[in-house]
Structure 1
């Protein structure tokens, strides 16, 4: 799966496919004068995804209280302090050239006179709607340049990104993603939250954190591709599945790489996706953006990976990973669905199964049967047998509750017929 994400990230970095869409927002810019020595003005502009590198914008780097050169605006003083702290950190890691040190020191002194800056930022934020996403950053040379236009700040971003991973690293070893011998590999992908080193069971080398790189040795290039791939997948290849979210990750097996590029471009292009939605008549889920019928027409020179993630704050846990599903398997599922539809004259989808595998008790606040529901989904896509008695137990629980409460449950009996 990680190699598939890397390949998607590579296509994004090399601009073979359109980069991830941004959810937009407004940027409040602290514009310094030509000499970067004093505040010139505070401006407002639209977030432009094509300038993300100039902003030095990274989703992970701007969360929480972490110092960042481009940060979501919460309170003006706190957000400005995040930027100043990040710039102060740059002073410690940049090469000690006079020009670079001069630049960083001048900017820091200008931002240190924060009273007029904070008043202007608050005034600018007051002009925006509450629903707008707001970011804060600094523009230099009278508004001509962003921090990302300077090599010294780009190097600082790369340094901070690699510093955490390099707590455990090695030289002259193979990267587990690209398979090549690299000058340096380090621990963790830093892309998904389930890749951690804070529990003894996750650490190779006798529970020694310094040997953690042996678990998933990753080179810096692959880490960059993985980061861009994750961002693209989250924004373009993320779908709903009856209260659950899953990512659809295509992976090329053999043949021309153009096949993968074409499919990803179609899925990620908003205009093509809208046209595709109108053409697709059969769906297995409740997501109007579902494109499984489209993919079922592809050749078996690629596979599909379905990744279900459960997020809790900064932690992430894989609830289900279905790997190596061929388009021909998707076609077989649709053919079986068509047969059921013709027999019962009713449209079938996974919602019929979800009817019985959501909550063991209607009074519960959350769906406690997700595990069983995902086991059935996994069995369907992999072509595994499902125990009939396992299904009927949950069917009867729902029907029995309806009978006791004198509810109309005939439609649930119909769902049982469709399910079995």
Structure 2
């Protein structure tokens, strides 16, 4: 994964001619929350510098290199006196004033003229602290709380506005601080763990991803000597630069929404990117082309912006894609799931299976259907607690590993039962489950038993859903579910209530309950004078299939009830068949 991110970074650096400085500069408004900047303004006249006031201005993307924003998490200052404001006093003291401690660092090379210049700013910030903090707080109060505010220095030089990025001294110090951070633990003439080449210098503190750390003894190879930690993860300067840019590009351009989660899409050019078609390669080299692709309007499947996967599915198997699910908490990062080496050919199989399900159900099947019963174990819970299950089935879909059908039935029925008992729209939950099972069967991730049977009236109906219903027991359960639904509709029509539902035992019926249910349904239909020819035909087929199923079904309660509720959901299709047949028989009788 790290190598793939590094190679992506190399592509971007090459195509956009980026320097180390370009890589280190951050966009404070990347997520659109920090659209305003408070500038601490100074006037420079020859060798004299004076404080003016704090002003508010709109963030401008074209000035990103001039802002020279490199804010870091935590309380320590970044590489430049620029920061996102958390608490005004805390940010000003910890991120702006504290930055000038570089003047006390003898390892940072600053000529005398610039040292004097920076010391003057330092003195003014110290002297005017209360005034500056008050002005910034006034600006902060006038901005809605949901909007962020950044704080930087700005200079008026002979009538021209200059930001810290316009002054060479700030850029010089930025690069020196960056090098100092990584040179803290290094070694010479060693092999880089990423590119595999021997380099004059390698670093042991490359923490591009926060799930790697050397601040705990267990992470240090060969004992507790921090200076030897470079052995864990030696990285050369070139790979470090490419890795930083690769991560930035992933976060800015290749991070997608995934039903309450986020994933990063990492391309891996398995035989070198020069062998990948130019139009595919350019998607990852050129952000504008990627943005254009994101704006295409197609049926969603994977997430909010999944057109790129549909596009990559058409590519050749000269590349793979990795899916990285990360969870960020403060300054830490935790890998929730890494799906590696998914070939375009397998993406095609996934999309083809989706298309078949869409056609069968005349709906747009997405991962949202799966997520519906893999988000919360209880709808009253505030947070999702089934993310692990959802990520596991996602992993299995993209890697082609089998799915435990029994476990899946359990999750589906838990959701269906909750909706059913609370008299909510349980039919949507049934449909989500049925579509999911069909999708997984198309991908051959679950295996359905198929039992040859004589031709019967509902064969065309069952054939539509493929192997999902191809045993006598499953067919009998589906038809019984449909017949029960017709009774419930009749009750509601006559009484605006469904008292028969108590016989369904909260959809926890076992073999004995099901066998006793058919006569109960028939008797109730007789009582309502609604056991017409069509329903009699349906009941006859239920009896036929349940007799063929025999005894000792060897089917879990969840599975029994799943197929029963599938019948509830598909009742309209079955009634169309039985009453169409009845109408045809009447018509044929008239002709006779």
Residues 162-171 or 122-131, more deviating: 122-131
What is residue 308 of structure 2 aligned with on the other side?
Answer: 291
Q: Which has the higher contact order (CA 8 A, sep 6+)?
A: 1
For residues 17 and 245 of structure 1, what CA distance do their matches in structure 2 show?
29
8 Å CA contact 2:301–2:365 kept in 1: the answer is yes
- What TM-score, normalized to structure 1? 0.87
Stretches (4+) displaced over 6 A: 17-21
Shift of 1:90: 4.0
What is residue 240 of structure 1 aligned with on the other side?
Answer: 257
Shift of 1:153: 2.7
Higher helix share: 2
What is residue 488 of structure 2 aligned with on the other side?
Answer: none
Residues 94-103 or 350-359, more deviating: 94-103
Do structure 1's residue 330 and structure 2's residue 330 form an aligned pair?
A: no
SS in 2 for 1:204: coil
**Which runs of no fewer than 5 residues in structure 1 stay unpaired?**
none
What is residue 150 of structure 2 aligned with on the other side?
Answer: 135
Shift of 1:274: 5.4
Residues 144-153 or 371-380, more deviating: 144-153
* Matched positions, count: 415
What is residue 102 of structure 2 aligned with on the other side?
Answer: 89
- What TM-score, normalized to structure 2? 0.64
8 Å CA contact 1:94–1:152 kept in 2: the answer is no
Do structure 1's residue 395 and structure 2's residue 407 form an aligned pair?
A: no
SS in 2 for 1:38: strand
What is residue 344 of structure 1 aligned with on the other side?
Answer: 361
Judged with a 3 Å threshold, the aligned counterparts in structure 2 of structure 1 residues 349 and 384 are, in CA distance, closer, same or farther, namely same
Residues 313-322 or 122-131, more deviating: 122-131
Do structure 1's residue 43 and structure 2's residue 55 form an aligned pair?
A: yes
What is residue 79 of structure 1 aligned with on the other side?
Answer: 91
For residues 307 and 70 of structure 2, what CA distance do their matches in structure 1 show?
28
Judged with a 3 Å threshold, the aligned counterparts in structure 2 of structure 1 residues 315 and 111 are, in CA distance, closer, same or farther, namely same
Shift of 1:290: 4.4
What is residue 463 of structure 2 aligned with on the other side?
Answer: none
For residues 236 and 220 of structure 1, what CA distance do their matches in structure 2 show?
24
Judged with a 3 Å threshold, the aligned counterparts in structure 2 of structure 1 residues 372 and 131 are, in CA distance, closer, same or farther, namely closer
Shift of 1:246: 0.7
Residues 207-216 or 396-405, more deviating: 396-405
Residues 357-366 or 321-330, more deviating: 357-366
Deviation digits for residues 231-262 of structure 1 (CA, Å, limit 9, x no counterpart): 22212211111111111122323352755541
8 Å CA contact 2:268–2:319 kept in 1: the answer is yes
For residues 127 and 360 of structure 1, what CA distance do their matches in structure 2 show?
42
SS in 2 for 1:94: coil
Matches within 5 A, 1:200-279: 200-253=217-270, 254-256=272-274, 258-259=278-279, 261-264=281-284, 268-269=288-289, 272-273=292-293, 275-276=295-296, 278=297
Matches within 5 A, 1:187-198: 187-198=204-215
For residues 90 and 297 of structure 1, what CA distance do their matches in structure 2 show?
56
SS in 1 for 2:321: strand
User: Which is greater in Rg?
Assistant: 2
SS in 2 for 1:205: coil
